[in-house]
Amino acid sequence: MSKEVIVVRGNNTLAGEVQASGAKNSALKLMAAALLGQGASVIRNVPDISDIAVMSEVLQRLGAVVDRDGHAMSVDTSNVDKFDTPYELVSKMRASISVLGPLIGRFGKAMVAMPGGCQIGARKIDMHLVGLESLGVEFEVDHGTLIASTPHGLHGANVTLEFPSVGATENMLMAAVVAEGDTVIENAAREPEIADLCEMLNSMGARIEGHGSSSIRVEGVPLGDMHPCEHTTVGDRVESGTFLVGGAVTGGPVTVRGITPDFLRMAIVKLQAMGCDVECGDDWITVSRSGPLKPADIQTLPHPGFPTDLQAQFMLLASLADGMSIITENVFENRFMFAAELMRLGADIALEDHHAFIRGVKGLEGAPVSSTDLRAGATLVLAGIVADGHTVVHDIHHIDRGYENYCEKLQALGADVERRAE
Ligand code: UD1
């Protein structure tokens, strides 16, 4: 397959309506959760993106039958008889480790390759392991593979996470639902995708309360009480936030439908602080701007704080604001690689440790740039839309990991963007 680039013609405005896809970070875990209910679960509103294809491969390798019909996906786990996920899959997508919790729940054991370091920081899994160990799981590492066993069964426990890690909360939840006794996870992650996962687990027979708060209580049920279910994935707040930034940076108005505005509370506060008008309904958000962009101070934090997955997009806004903005990255180390690409387009950014100091410039100029990760890639396309001249965005396989039909959606908003062979 030849590599592709996205060619963007600039000096453009985005305006109109766009439908949010289902949340990538939810759907991946909902697919893993299906392992706990023997039979065919149906998950709706699943985005058609390459990360979902990798999770389908992970499940198929375990023996599941995965079928897609548009955005509906059936995951039949009746004949799952394997419990290992090899490095070739974990190295393609780190979120493959989300099968660890449900495999332990289903088989009492699992073998999952250790994820390597990741471009956006060390991304350790120590909290996943500490959390699962408190439920009775024992781990060994053999030639890069994590081997989990439960010689004394799975039992409930009270656990306080050191940091509200999304992945650790999810892996613990998917084992705790079938542990003997009750589990309480304190300092649990509060991301909307966690609540979505708990809703699905509850429709499969689990007994979880408090999801959406930092204290989640689980009353363990026997594995045999878990059954398949039908569930609809929540809208993708990061994809939605990306289109809202597209509206904000070009003036808009851009309306995103299929998204719960509350999921984007802090991003909306920052859009308003930066001079945008934002209107919300039950499941839509509209952004527009008539005055200049104002600078802002933004710190990424676990939900409901400002999401790290919108940091690059807001760096683009800040780079065109009237004054100096400061962005502080608190969730991942090393998540400023994007800044160098934005500087190629003329942005004025100084990095110091986990702070970025962004002095707004009058305009950006088109140039060849590379996607350093999926959010950076999507943002570089937006930067190209507002820049003067042509921008060519390379390494767009990153964008395909998390954005369904990104070019088509942008074209419908009036962008002049096109995929081409490199
Ligand atoms: C998920 C999201 C990702 C998002 C992130 C934070 C998916 C597939 N990905 O990633 O898009 O940016 O939440 O909202 O859902 N950490 C440890 N030890 C651990 C676990 C985490 O040190 O055991 C650290 C990580 O290195 C990172 C921070 O905690 O610096 C946050 O990680 P976590 O919340 O676990 O994010 P992910 O689940 O990997």
Which distant-in-sequence residues (6+ apart) come within 8 Å of 292 by Cβ? 275, 321, 322
Task: Fill in the amino acid letter for 392.
Answer: V
Q: Mean pLDDT over residues 365-392, rounded?
A: 97
pLDDT bucket at 186, cuts 50 / 70 / 90: very high
pLDDT bucket at 397, cuts 50 / 70 / 90: very high
Strands 158-160, 145-149: pairing kind:
unpaired
Q: Mean pLDDT over residues 173-194, rounded?
A: 98
Pocket mutation for ligand 1, best pick of 128, 163, 300, 338 (most atoms within 8 Å of C-beta) = 163
Tokens of 383: 């930067």
Distance 302 CA to ligand 1 centre (A): 9
Residue nearest to atom 35 of ligand 1 (CA): 165
DSSP reduced 3-state for 234:
coil
Per-residue pLDDT at 116 exceeds 80:
no
pLDDT bucket at 382, cuts 50 / 70 / 90: very high
Q: Mean pLDDT over residues 11-21, rounded?
A: 98
Distance 289 CA to ligand 1 centre (A): 33
For the beta carbon of residue 50, count every other beta carbon within 10 angstroms: 18
DSSP reduced 3-state for 45:
coil
Question: Does the beta carbon of 25 lie inside 6 Å of ligand 1?
Answer: yes
For the beta carbon of residue 189, count every other beta carbon within 10 angstroms: 23
Q: What is the atom index within ligand 1 of the atom nearest the CA of 332? A: 30
pLDDT bucket at 121, cuts 50 / 70 / 90: low
Per-residue pLDDT at 1 exceeds 80:
no
Q: How many Å apart are CA 44 and CA 50, to the nearest integer?
A: 17
Question: Does the beta carbon of 30 lie inside 6 Å of ligand 1?
Answer: no
Distance 161 CA to ligand 1 centre (A): 13
pLDDT of residue 376: 96
pLDDT of residue 334: 80
Distance 234 CA to ligand 1 centre (A): 19
Task: Fill in the amino acid letter for 417.
Answer: V
pLDDT of residue 120: 58
pLDDT of residue 285: 98
pLDDT tens for residues 32-75?
A: 999 999 999 999 999 999 999 999 999 999 999 999 999 999 99
pLDDT bucket at 119, cuts 50 / 70 / 90: low
Q: Mean pLDDT over residues 402-419, rounded?
A: 98
Check: CB of residue 266 under 8 Å from CB of residue 294. no
Question: Does the beta carbon of 28 lie inside 6 Å of ligand 1?
Answer: yes
pLDDT bucket at 123, cuts 50 / 70 / 90: confident
pLDDT tens for residues 238-250?
A: 999 999 999 999 9
Q: Mean pLDDT over residues 114-125, rounded?
A: 70
Question: Does the beta carbon of 128 lie inside 6 Å of ligand 1?
Answer: yes
Per-residue pLDDT at 387 exceeds 80:
yes
pLDDT of residue 111: 96
pLDDT of residue 419: 97
pLDDT tens for residues 128-151?
A: 999 999 999 999 999 989 999 999
Of 14-28, 121-135, 339-353, the least confident? 121-135
pLDDT of residue 115: 84
Distance 207 CA to ligand 1 centre (A): 25
Question: Does the beta carbon of 420 lie inside 6 Å of ligand 1?
Answer: no
Q: Mean pLDDT over residues 256-285, rounded?
A: 98
pLDDT of residue 178: 98
Q: Mean pLDDT over residues 307-329, rounded?
A: 98
- Round the average pLDDT of the chain to a whole number and report it: 96
pLDDT of residue 124: 86
Using H for helix, E for strand and C for coil, what is the string for 276-340?
CEEEECCCEEEEECCCCCCCCEEEECCCCCECHHHHHHHHHHHHCCCCEEEEECCCCCCCCHHHH
Known active-site residue 118: yes
Q: How many Å apart are CA 219 and CA 223, to the nearest integer?
A: 12
DSSP reduced 3-state for 379:
helix
Q: How many Å apart are CA 52 and CA 48, to the nearest integer?
A: 7
Cα-based distances in Å from 55 to 97, 116, 185, 220? 10, 17, 26, 26
